Every structure is written in structure tokens, then in C-alpha cells.
Amino acid sequence: MEGERIVLDVRVDEDGRMVMPEGKTREYKLNLDNTERVLKSVVAFANSAGGELVIGVRDDRTVVGVDDPLIEQERLSHVIADSVRPQLAPVIDLVTVEDKTLLVAVVTLGSQRPYHLKSVGPYQGTFYRTGAENRQAGPNMVNELSRSARDRTYDQLPCAGATLADLDMDALSALFGRLVDENTLRTLELTCEEQGQVVPTNGGILVGCPHPERFMPFAWVQCARFRGSSLRNITDQREIHGPLPLAVDQVMHFLKANAFLSADFVSGPRRREDVWSIPLDALKELVVNALVHSSYAGHGTPIKVAFFDDRIWIESPGGLNPGVTIDLMKQGVSVIRNPVLARVFKELSLVERWGTGIPRVLATLAEAGLPEPEFEESVERLRTTVFVANHDPRLFDPARKPPAVAATASAESPTELVTPPSVDVSMSGVQVSMYARQMLRVAQDGPARRADLLRAAGLSQSPTNRARHIQPLVAAGLLELSVPDAPRSSKQRYLITDAGRQFLAQDERDGVR
């Protein structure tokens, strides 16, 4: 590597500070006094996505340079060679900025991962990069780094303790729409040979076992609807278990059940176009992305889908694959963590072409006038947040766009109340959730109690659900009270109005269930 020159972003502002901040692939150090911290950064870069370690810069990014740069260059080279295993040989060069000399080590993604500090060994000295921080890798992450370097992924490995009897062949045939036999299983890498026997791979269990969590405890999806902007007030939740390809539609059903459906009558009352209050195509792409790219090797939590009033986030265990940053992901760079799952999802037409998903999400949200989603990498997790119009029933307005990302930290309780939109089923603007439709159908059969309505929608009898799901129907004129002067009367019943009947009749004509 001798003689190779480094080309990197070393722009400074008028105050002499580096323009480029620290992040997943850039870190600044003042000097080499704390060699352990320097070595942790080198190891983390080599295990994650590569990076640039710049010596001679203060914490506030002020460029001060290094004393005796040639001596420090040799010192850093020897320290890395002596202290990191497997051995690393990053390019270490001297770069002049504002008449000051910086020491720069460019570390590439290593091919012999996992790298670790020799002094403490692989299970205590392995580090990886999350944002601008170095984190110690646990046993699962150490093993995953090793597999990724050997091109042997977790979903290709034999599933410990599983037999062919754990695969539901009839369900697999129904899933693929053709007969699935042992040859198909091997072709798709849903099975492999282990000690002379054909057994399911981890990917096979994730795709074809009715209960994959028996073998991988966190191979399921947790969905929840929260009122407000925090995790305090949960109004609906669902656990989704079973083969992963089937989870896509189940997650989308949950999101629809908690969203609003607008009816646009584009050519008179008999031609209705349904418009959802959430960006379904983008969310489906993100759900598929989470299912295929999550780590199922025991990371402590399942995939999580959380629907707040003002945003929806999807969180998957495992974080980004080695070699990938958030910026690269936005550009379409994709390193597939689970190739067995990826192939199955591709055959089922749940994905089009790998690498286009996230750019397509960005384009779809931009076309809908929604803010760019927020991607956040934390401890072995990746969270994607999609910002939506406020879904508090008292505030929801389909024409109101969500605020910019920086302005989303609103209080949990709304400070502004607006009158719910009036209902005219011959015009656009009817916001009725799937839960509400079930309630209207019960009320259509005769006066219904609150308990009857909530039970029909599969909701608990909490006052929160009454406020969240029943009161908006009354306010919108689809239901009315039998005792309007005493809303909390024990004799209270809910009656469907002419507008409610007309809405359901339109549903029936349009085949909405």
C-alpha cells in the first residue's frame, strides 16, 4: 500500500472546523495518547463498513494537526499491526489542511471478519460501528460477522433440532402455487444435508414451519397501535406468528385496520376510488425489507411495527449488514443478509429487484408529498420511521400533510381540536376504519350496546376504545345515540343512521368487506 495517496473530504469552515461530521465511516481523534480507543475504532471500521480515522482534530472538529507526524505515522502502523487480529494493514497517510498536518488511516471492510483486539480476545475485543459510536459485539454479532465473511449466511445453515416433519409441505405447495417436493426444497435451499441426513435449513423453517419461533424464539412480528406520540397508551396490538411470507399481508391488514379509508367518487356515486390515509405501497416495501434483512439468530426481540398518531415505524433486529451505510442504502446498495428468504420472496413476487426497494420508497413518499423517512441505526437494530398525517380521530384531515421530521416531536395530548369532517357518501372525505365498518354492520341489525360494537371489531371494552372507535362514528353522523341527552346511560344503544346505511350499501356495491 506504500505510495498510495488518500483522497477524502477534508473541507474546513471559516472557523477552521471540519465540515464533515463524525459518523459511521468517519472519526476524529486529537492524538494517539489513548491507543485503546483508537484501536477500537479501527476494529469497528473493519467489521462494519470501513472508515476514516483522522488524528489531529479536536472533539469540536477544530483542526490542530499532530506533532512529529512521521513518527506518529510509524507509531500508529506498528500499534495496529501488533494489537489487532487478524492483522490489518490500513492505508496511513499524512494530509495537509490549513497548514496543519493530519494523520489519516483509511480502513476498508475486512475480508477476515470478525477483527478483534488481541489483548482481550474475539468475544470481548470485537467491536462494530453504529452511527458515530463503537460498540462491543455480543456472541450473536461475532458469529454473524464470521458468517458474512465466509459467505455462509444464517438462513443457509441447518436448523438445530429440526426435521423434515417440521415443514408443512401442503402449506408450502399452496404458498408457491405448485407442488413442492424434496427437489424443490433443496433447490430453494430450504433443506440441506447434515451428517448424512436431509434436514431443514433455518431459512426453510422460517418459510415452511407453522411455528418457526419453536426454533428461533424471535422469528415473529409484534404490531401495536399507540394513541398519541409516545409508547404510553396502547389501543390495539397483534402478534403475528407463522411462515414469514404470510406475515406481509397480516402486517398490512393490521395497518389498514388502524388507518382511515377515504372514498373518492371520481365519476358519480357508482364509481368509487378508495384512498388510504397511510402510504400502503411504501409501507409494504419496508415490511418486506424488514422480514428479509432481519437477523433471526437470537437478537432478543422480534420485528416491531408501531403505529402512532403521527408516524409509523418498523424496527428490525440485526442492524445494517457489513459494508452498508444508511447513505448507501438510500442509493440502492443492498447486501442481502438472508439469501434463502430473498429468493423465496422474489419467487412469490413480494419483491421486484433487490437494491431498488429503498429508492422506490423514497420516490413513492415524495410523490405523495410526505417527508423523507427517517432511518436510525441503534444497537444491532434498524428503525425506519414514516411520517403520516395525524391519526387522532379529532384531528385527522386527509388533506393535511405531516410536518417536517424536525417538527414531529409534538406533545402526546393534542392542543388543537377540530370538528370531525361531515359525511356525504356521494363525495370524497369519508374516513372510516376497518374496525368501524364492523361496528356499522352490527348496528345495521338493530340497536347495539357499546360492548356489542367493540366485540364485533375484536377490541377490548376499554373507555379508550370507545373514544377511539365509536365516538368518531357518532360525530360523523354514521351512528346516533338512543338516549342523546345522557351519553353514559346504562340504557344507551347505538343506532345506525341513513348515512351509515348508505355508506354500507356503497361498500357492498364496491365489494368492500
Q: Give the span between the Cα atoms of 27 and 48, in whole angstroms.
A: 14
Other Cβ atoms less than 10 A from the Cβ of 489: the count is: 12
Over residues 68-92, the mean pLDDT reads: 95
Other Cβ atoms less than 10 A from the Cβ of 352: the count is: 10
Per-residue pLDDT band at 149 (split at 50, 70, 90): confident
pLDDT number for residue 396: 66
Q: Does residue 451 form part of some domain? A: yes
Residues 6+ apart with CB under 8 A from 35: 79, 83
Lowest mean pLDDT among 43-57, 194-208, 459-473: 459-473
Over residues 254-283, the mean pLDDT reads: 78
Kindly list the distances between the CA atom of residue 372 and the CA atoms of 131, 308, 313, 368, 504, in Å, as whole numbers in the listed order. Answer: 19, 17, 13, 11, 36
Residues 6+ apart with CB under 8 A from 126: 43, 47, 114, 115, 116, 136, 137, 141, 142, 145
pLDDT greater than 90 at residue 157: yes
- DSSP 8-state class, residue 373: P
Residues 172 and 86 in one domain: no
Q: Of 105, 127, 149, which residue is a domain's last? A: 149
pLDDT greater than 80 at residue 70: yes
Q: Does residue 4 form part of some domain? A: no
Residues 302 and 396 in one domain: yes
Kindly list the distances between the CA atom of residue 248 and the CA atoms of 34, 221, 251, 313, 427, in Å, as whole numbers in the listed order. Answer: 48, 10, 5, 15, 32
Give burial (CB, 10 Å; 0-12/13-18/19+) of 444: middle
Can you list the positions of beta strands (E) in 437-487?
A: 479-481
Residue 236 in grid coordinates: 390495539
Over residues 172-189, the mean pLDDT reads: 95
- Domain CATH for 83: 3.30.950.30
Q: Give the span between the Cα atoms of 30 and 49, in whole angstroms.
A: 23
Average pLDDT, the chain: 85
b/e per residue 9-48 (b: at least 16 CB within 10 A): ebebeeeeebebebebbbbbbeebeeeeebbbbbbbbbbb
Looking at the structure of the chain, the number of domains it has is 4
Residues 337 and 403 in one domain: yes
b/e per residue 265-303 (b: at least 16 CB within 10 A): beeeeeebeeeebbbeebbbbbbbbbbbbbbbbebeebb
Kindly list the distances between the CA atom of residue 359 and the CA atoms of 166, 218, 362, 429, in Å, as whole numbers in the listed order. Answer: 37, 28, 5, 30
Residue 71 in grid coordinates: 513518527
Per-residue pLDDT band at 378 (split at 50, 70, 90): confident
pLDDT number for residue 510: 60
pLDDT number for residue 353: 62
Q: Give the span between the Cα atoms of 354 and 336, in whole angstroms.
A: 8
pLDDT number for residue 372: 93
93 or 321, higher pLDDT: 93
Residues 70 and 158 in one domain: no
Residues 138 and 158 in one domain: no
pLDDT number for residue 458: 74
Residues 38 and 134 in one domain: yes
Q: Which residues are paired to 381 by β-bridges?
A: 317, 378
Q: Does residue 191 form part of some domain? A: yes
Residues 376 and 467 in one domain: no
Residues 210 and 259 in one domain: no
Evaluate whether 244 touches 211 at the Cβ level (below 8 Å). Answer: no
Kindly list the distances between the CA atom of residue 293 and the CA atoms of 190, 275, 336, in Å, as whole numbers in the listed order. Answer: 17, 30, 6
Q: Where are the alpha helices (DSSP H) in 65-129?
A: 69-83
pLDDT number for residue 399: 60
pLDDT number for residue 425: 34
Q: Does residue 145 form part of some domain? A: yes
472 preceded by a cis bond (ω within 30 of 0): no
Q: Does residue 183 form part of some domain? A: yes
- Domain CATH for 465: 1.10.10.10
Q: State whether residue 283 is helix, strand or coil.
A: helix
Residue 36 in grid coordinates: 485503546
> Percent of the chain having pLDDT more than 70?
86
Q: Does residue 17 form part of some domain? A: no
Q: Of 149, 176, 206, which residue is a domain's last? A: 149
Convert the pLDDT of each residue in 382-432 to its tens digit: 999 999 988 887 766 656 667 654 333 333 333 233 333 333 333 233 456
Q: Does residue 118 form part of some domain? A: yes
pLDDT number for residue 146: 87
Residues 36 and 117 in one domain: yes
Residues 349 and 498 in one domain: no
- DSSP 8-state class, residue 399: T
- Domain CATH for 229: 3.30.565.60
69 preceded by a cis bond (ω within 30 of 0): no
pLDDT greater than 50 at residue 52: yes
Residues 6+ apart with CB under 8 A from 130: 24, 319, 377, 378, 379, 380
pLDDT number for residue 357: 83
Lowest mean pLDDT among 19-23, 234-238, 338-342, 398-402: 398-402
- DSSP 8-state class, residue 466: I
pLDDT number for residue 423: 34
Residue 364 in grid coordinates: 413513492
Residues 397 and 296 in one domain: yes
pLDDT number for residue 416: 31
Q: Does residue 313 form part of some domain? A: yes
Nearest one of 317, 299, 382 to 131, comparing CA atoms: 382
Convert the pLDDT of each residue in 31-44 to its tens digit: 999 999 999 999 99
Residues 444 and 348 in one domain: no
Q: Which residues are paired to 54 by β-bridges?
A: 28, 104
Q: Which domain holds residue 400?
A: 221-407
Residue 143 in grid coordinates: 458469529
Convert the pLDDT of each residue in 469-508 to its tens digit: 787 788 778 899 988 887 778 888 999 998 888 888 876 7
Q: Of 214, 242, 257, which residue is a domain's last? A: 214
